[in-house]
Structure 1
Amino acid sequence: MRRILAGSSMRIGWAVLFSVFLVQFYNPTGVAKADSLLQLSTINCTGASVRIALRSTDRLPEASGAARVERKGGTTEIDVKLESMKPASLFGGDYNTYVLWVVPPGGPAENLGEFTLDGSEAALRTSTPAAEFGILVTAEPHYLVRSPSAFVVLENEPNANGRTVGQELLEGVYNFTRSTLDDAKEAKGQVHSEVKQAFTAVRLARRAGAARLAGAEFARAQGALQETLALWQARKPRPEIAAQARETVRLAVTARRLAEEGALQGTRNETEGSGGGNGETEERTPRRMGRDWR
């Protein structure tokens, strides 16, 4: 009898978790403001290994970190270690993970990968072809974002010998329930957000109109999400779940991009159809006006 009750409790537990995901998927919360511009000073990597301190922002004031950078040939190797971190999902809404960015002069910002928290610590070893750049760590919906959000949690300390670069941050795009984790608790053990990232990526694609503007791609993303959920509910090995979740994110990002491109093209067509900048319309207009005047 005890085993039956335990099994029932486990099924109820998975059902509760699933319902939480559904609430997150269909009921996004409050939104942010208009885009903003962040000013950063650059680091110039000349060859020798250099330690760069990272300072926290009001988003996560207790956080700290450092990056060791070294130029080798045409590549800059970057080894980042973070401390006193808290799960990005505590921001609520669309946020699930942290991403490392480098911002070279002239841009664009380069996504160098996501951090996996182990308690309050995280580390990432990566590289970039850039030799001069600023460094950012931001909270993001998923690992495959193309531009940094306004939820910057760490940035490199000002460098007197560096140049100032501006980086536009995405605002008004992602939902959140809190703007700072000042009073939030740290996690215990590893933080796995892959399934949440998959849900969020599909939700963002839906929000962008992918169901209408990129139907086939969106259907593939939804199918991949169902496969992710099936693996998760079956308690398959975590690497298998993570791989499927990351594939879901990739498909959802493609669907969202196509939807956004389709929406932009539709806006252009409407503008051109109304005479706003279409070359053919501009050529016809003088002839029509000429006939009217005659």
Structure 2
Amino acid sequence: MSKKNLLVFLAICASSSVLLAQEMNPTATDKWPQTQDQRKQPQAEMRDGVAVYKVEVVGRDIPAINYFHRSGATKIGFEGTSLLPGAKGSAEVSSERGRMVIKARFQGLKPANSFGIEYLTYVLWAITPEGRPINLGEILPEGTKNDITVTTDLQSFGLVVTAEPYFAVTMPSDVVVLQNTILHDKTAGILEQINAHYSLLPRGAYEKTASQNAVLHPITRNEKSPLELYEAINAIQIAEAAGAKKYAPETLATAQQDLQNAQAMDTHKSNRKQEITYAREAVQASEDARIMSIRKQKAEEAARRQQAQEQAEQAAQQAQLEAQQQATKRAQAEAQASEAEAQAAKAQAQAALAQHAQQQAVDQTAQMRERLKQQLNQVLSTRETARGLIINMSDVLFAFNKYDLKPDAREKLAKVSGILLAYPDLKLQIEGYTDNVGSQQYNEKLSQERADAVRDYLVSQGVAQGNIVATGYGENNPIAENSTANGRAQNRRVQLVVSGNSIGVQEKAPGAGNDAQPAPPSPPQTPNNTGVSNVPPQ
């Protein structure tokens, strides 16, 4: 590559943007076109919002071998996956002074970029039985045979070979081309077979799209330059896409300087070994910068979530405290004056938080009111009004022209009281109504007696008496025409109006909101415990 062409190429790469890489592997997307063999592989599944790819070899796993300490070497084989069925290999694994030495030889590895323009090389991985991958080293795709000798401190592991964008990746891609196999006629020594589970991420760091993350001019192989130089360019582009300019500028600058040194030597065709050394240093520094950037971004996001959670909790606590203060009795006002001033100062400093907390409190109150309405609706017809939740008891729940509660009415009121006991701060206005048949005095008295009967029964079931007010309004405030039997039946009713701060409704007299203003109640009558009205109907 001439110096002029190289400068043009770098300018194009610098002007392109790439898809933000995940920490696990820089080739993490599944949108690249697949070959027929690739489409035979299992589809990626979603686990906790992350795509996970599992290669099916032996029971969806690979066999891992426990290499006990022994004299001599254990032989294993390698077979190609459906992505590269013509590939094969073998290895000798021996134990030497607390470490395992692996001498492997592979055949049939075609150029890695045949799987996609982002792949440039191959990497040998050791996979623990629990799925932890260890990068053992790069397998350069040169010639027909490829040898590699590496060591590991693992005791039990399986071996796979994957295609990668550069050698210094920390998590394998899903392009698994080779996997180890047990040679039953050649493997010697005491072996323990373990199913090693390993999860691999979908591939593809680059994607040709019209979005801002598209790479318009991907890197291609120039046989006149070493493969390591293109791995370095690949690695730096991916690190920049991950935000390394912002989160790891010093490490990225080191990688860029190493790349510049390698490119300068490549331009002048001088000292090929030193050029490869600089390129490999650039790859390693780029991968470090990429992982540092992603971890810092995750840390920032976690800090933002933690801060938002703390602010929400503080706002909720503030809103709850203010709600309690509003409900405090007038006699405690002086004792709480100084605290109210402190809360006002704090509220001013947290205006934005208080507004958010207030909305949360409104939403919670609405949810509680709706939940209470649904519970009461399962017992008696309940509707929501500006005055609160109105529970309707029809005339059929009382004895005719009496205020005695029928057994069915008692059963329903017992259920209502059980529900109300879960909301001890609620207020209850019990209102009795009649139709216009009979005298006004008789109707007012009968409606009062029925309201009192409901109140007394609720108190007997444990509802606080101080939270209940019972009033009879007679034929006032009809909800239907009294000219028809059906309308009169609707007007003969007892209403339980539920209000309180916990459901966001203040106690109001009849007529507030959409209700018509009722006539004032008549003076209380002399108590009558017979269960029958002492004023005959008209």
Same fold (TM over 0.5): yes
1:165 corresponds to: 196
Contact 2:28-2:173 at 8 Å conserved across structures: no
In the aligned structure 2, how far is the partner of 1:176 from the partner of 1:60? 23
Indicate the larger mover: 55-64 or 32-41.
Answer: 32-41
In the aligned structure 2, how far is the partner of 1:31 from the partner of 1:255? 17
Cα distance change of structure 1 residues 190 and 217 upon mapping to structure 2, 3 Å threshold: closer
Q: Give how far 1:200 is off.
A: 0.7
In the aligned structure 2, how far is the partner of 1:138 from the partner of 1:173? 13
In the aligned structure 2, how far is the partner of 1:234 from the partner of 1:76? 41
1:130 corresponds to: 154
Q: Give how far 1:191 is off.
A: 9.4
In the aligned structure 2, how far is the partner of 1:56 from the partner of 1:174? 24
Q: 2:64 aligns with which of 24, 27, 42?
A: 42
1:118 corresponds to: 142
- Which residue identity does 2:166 align to in structure 1? H
Q: Give how far 1:273 is off.
A: 2.7
- Which residue identity does 1:255 align to in structure 2? A
1:4 corresponds to: none
In the aligned structure 2, how far is the partner of 1:102 from the partner of 1:136? 7
1:286 aligns with 2:317: yes
1:255 corresponds to: 289
Q: Give how far 1:222 is off.
A: 2.0
Q: Give how far 1:208 is off.
A: 0.4
1:266 aligns with 2:300: yes
2:123 corresponds to: 99
1:126-148 Cα deviation digits (max 9, x unpaired):
11111211101111111111111
1:9-33 Cα deviation digits (max 9, x unpaired):
x84xx64566566656737699732
Contact 1:21-1:196 at 8 Å conserved across structures: no
TM-score (norm 2): 0.46
Q: Which runs of 5+ in 2 are unaligned?
A: 20-26, 31-50, 56-60, 185-191, 209-220, 326-538
Q: Which runs of 5+ in 1 are unaligned?
A: 1-9, 178-186
Q: 1:194 aligns with which of 225, 228, 235?
A: 228
Cα distance change of structure 1 residues 155 and 143 upon mapping to structure 2, 3 Å threshold: same
1:218 aligns with 2:240: no
Indicate the larger mover: 120-129 or 153-162.
Answer: 153-162
In the aligned structure 1, how far is the partner of 2:86 from the partner of 2:153? 31
2:133 corresponds to: 109
Cα distance change of structure 1 residues 88 and 264 upon mapping to structure 2, 3 Å threshold: same
Runs of 4+ in 1 over 6 A off after TM superposition: none
Cα distance change of structure 1 residues 235 and 190 upon mapping to structure 2, 3 Å threshold: closer
1:32 aligns with 2:29: yes
1:40-95 Cα deviation digits (max 9, x unpaired):
21112122412111110122221111111112342111111001111213333321
1:171-192 Cα deviation digits (max 9, x unpaired):
2453489xxxxxxxxx9x9994
Cα distance change of structure 1 residues 31 and 264 upon mapping to structure 2, 3 Å threshold: closer
2:176 corresponds to: 152
TM-score (norm 1): 0.80
In the aligned structure 1, how far is the partner of 2:224 from the partner of 2:85? 21
Q: Give how far 1:270 is off.
A: 2.1
Structure number with the bigger relative contact order (C-alpha 8 A, sep ≥ 6) is 1
- Which residue identity does 2:54 align to in structure 1? L
Cα distance change of structure 1 residues 222 and 15 upon mapping to structure 2, 3 Å threshold: same
1:78 aligns with 2:102: yes
> Which entry has the higher C-alpha Rg, 1 or 2?
2
Cα distance change of structure 1 residues 87 and 19 upon mapping to structure 2, 3 Å threshold: farther
In the aligned structure 2, how far is the partner of 1:223 from the partner of 1:132? 40
Cα distance change of structure 1 residues 85 and 256 upon mapping to structure 2, 3 Å threshold: same
Q: 1:237 aligns with which of 244, 249, 271?
A: 271
- Which residue identity does 1:201 align to in structure 2? A
Cα distance change of structure 1 residues 176 and 158 upon mapping to structure 2, 3 Å threshold: farther
The CA RMSD over aligned residues, in Å, is 3.0
Q: 1:89 aligns with which of 100, 113, 124?
A: 113
1:97-147 Cα deviation digits (max 9, x unpaired):
111111122342111111123312211011111121110111111111111
Number of equivalent positions: 270
Alignment of 1:47-66 (within 5 A): 47=70, 48-66=72-90
Cα distance change of structure 1 residues 93 and 255 upon mapping to structure 2, 3 Å threshold: same
In the aligned structure 2, how far is the partner of 1:124 from the partner of 1:191? 22
In the aligned structure 1, how far is the partner of 2:121 from the partner of 2:127? 19
